[in-house]
């Protein structure tokens, strides 16, 4: 099946304060964000026409930019409104939203103190990140040779474009070798996350997840921790070593795109999605659709 390029689609994109034709949303080749990775972004999901935890994502976009040293010229409320404008204009009921902010092209060099800050928001229909078959039996991961950097070497608390370079490299290699994704260790050799999702494991009936001290503390991650505790499950945030995988019975990933996705294999070690994973998959599916159900009930 031929891929439809993302620069050649029907619809509209919100850019720098206004909606415009999808194909007209362009930047110059000498844009600072392209050359020096001065760009931040978000990934958001639309369920029933509503963006899940929209304001949290908009705030994180602003915070990510601040960490990189630039201020977005929009408030959370303005970003929220622009997001809903583009979702409705494109008639998205269930889909994905990608806000992205970057430094422009006034100055070309490492220093870009006076560059204009741009913001664009696009949305499109998007099913599950992994196929339904892969989600049911669990995806396969391969440990990457690339490590998540230390907090003193990179802006690890920002959802910054440059931090995903090693993720793309790791995922490409994993896919070439027959896996779905890669497991990322950190600079200490501890388990960190997958290439675009946080990781959880069940050990002795408790849910364990790495402390997010050098990688993004995902909005979905926090949502699932809350759901687990609401369901009477113990959640332990701690340093996790690769050898701890030997004692894990269930493993799953969480992320806006991945939602709650079971892991069936890591480097040949087999895991079976079971009660805890299945419970949280169902709880998350209900949670993301709760605002939609509430809105429908209010309209009756």
Question: Which residue among 89, 107, 125 closes a domain?
Answer: 125
| pLDDT of res. 102 | 98
pLDDT tens string 160-179: 999 999 999 999 999 999 99
Please indicate, yes or no, whether residues 283 and 139 belong to a single structural domain of this protein.
yes
| pLDDT of res. 204 | 96
CB within 8 Å of 233: residues ≥ 6 apart: 206, 207, 276, 279
Q: Does 198 fall in a domain?
A: yes
Please indicate, yes or no, whether residues 118 and 83 belong to a single structural domain of this protein.
yes
Q: Which of 26, 66, 137, 159 is catalytic?
A: 159
| pLDDT of res. 270 | 96
CATH code, 212:
3.20.10.10
CB within 8 Å of 150: residues ≥ 6 apart: 156, 186, 187, 214
Please indicate, yes or no, whether residues 86 and 172 belong to a single structural domain of this protein.
no
CATH code, 43:
3.30.470.10
Q: Does 300 fall in a domain?
A: no
Is position 53 annotated as part of the catalytic site? no
| pLDDT of res. 292 | 60
Contact 237, 210 (CB under 8 A): yes
| pLDDT of res. 208 | 98
* CA 138 and chain centroid, separation: 19
Q: Does 85 fall in a domain?
A: yes
Note if the pTM is more than 0.75.
Answer: yes
Cα 250 to Cα 197: distance, rounded to the nearest angstrom: 16
Contact 101, 119 (CB under 8 A): yes
Domain that holds residue 230: 132-288
Which residues of the chain fall short of a pLDDT of 50? 299
Please indicate, yes or no, whether residues 115 and 171 belong to a single structural domain of this protein.
no
Please indicate, yes or no, whether residues 65 and 142 belong to a single structural domain of this protein.
no
Question: Which residue among 75, 90, 125 closes a domain?
Answer: 125
What is the total count of domains within the chain? Answer: 2
Question: Which residue among 88, 110, 125 closes a domain?
Answer: 125
Q: Does 139 fall in a domain?
A: yes
Q: Does 121 fall in a domain?
A: yes
């Amino acid at each position: 099946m031929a891929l439809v390029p993302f620069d050649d689609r029907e619809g509209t994109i919100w850019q720098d304060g206004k909606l415009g034709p999808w194909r007209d949303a362009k930047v110059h080749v000498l844009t600072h964000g392209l050359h020096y990775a001065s760009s931040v972004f978000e990934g958001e999901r639309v369920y029933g026409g509503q963006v899940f935890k929209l304001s949290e994502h908009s705030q994180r976009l602003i915070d990510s930019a601040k960490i990189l040293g630039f201020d977005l010229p929009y408030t959370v409320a303005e970003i929220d409104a622009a997001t809903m404008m583009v979702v409705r204009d494109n008639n998205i009921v269930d889909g994905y939203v990608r806000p992205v902010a970057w430094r422009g092209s006034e100055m070309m060099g490492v220093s870009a103190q006076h560059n204009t800050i741009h913001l664009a928001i696009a949305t499109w229909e998007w099913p599950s990140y992994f196929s339904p078959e892969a989600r049911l039996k669990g995806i396969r991961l391969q440990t990457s040779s690339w490590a998540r950097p230390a907090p003193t070497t990179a802006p690890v608390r920002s959802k910054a474009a440059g931090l995903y370079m090693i993720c793309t490299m790791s995922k490409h290699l994993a896919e070439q070798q027959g896996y779905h994704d890669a497991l990322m260790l950190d600079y200490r050799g501890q388990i960190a996350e997958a290439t675009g999702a946080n990781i959880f494991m069940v050990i002795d009936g408790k849910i364990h997840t790495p402390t997010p001290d050098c990688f993004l503390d995902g909005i979905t991650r926090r949502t699932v921790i809350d759901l687990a505790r609401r369901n009477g499950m113990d959640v332990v945030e701690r340093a996790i070593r690769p050898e701890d995988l030997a004692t894990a019975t269930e493993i799953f990933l969480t992320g806006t795109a991945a939602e709650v996705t079971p892991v069936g294999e890591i480097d040949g070690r087999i895991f079976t999605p079971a009660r805890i994973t299945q419970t949280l998959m169902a709880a998350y599916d209900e949670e993301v659709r709760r605002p939609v159900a509430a809105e429908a009930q209010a309209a009756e």
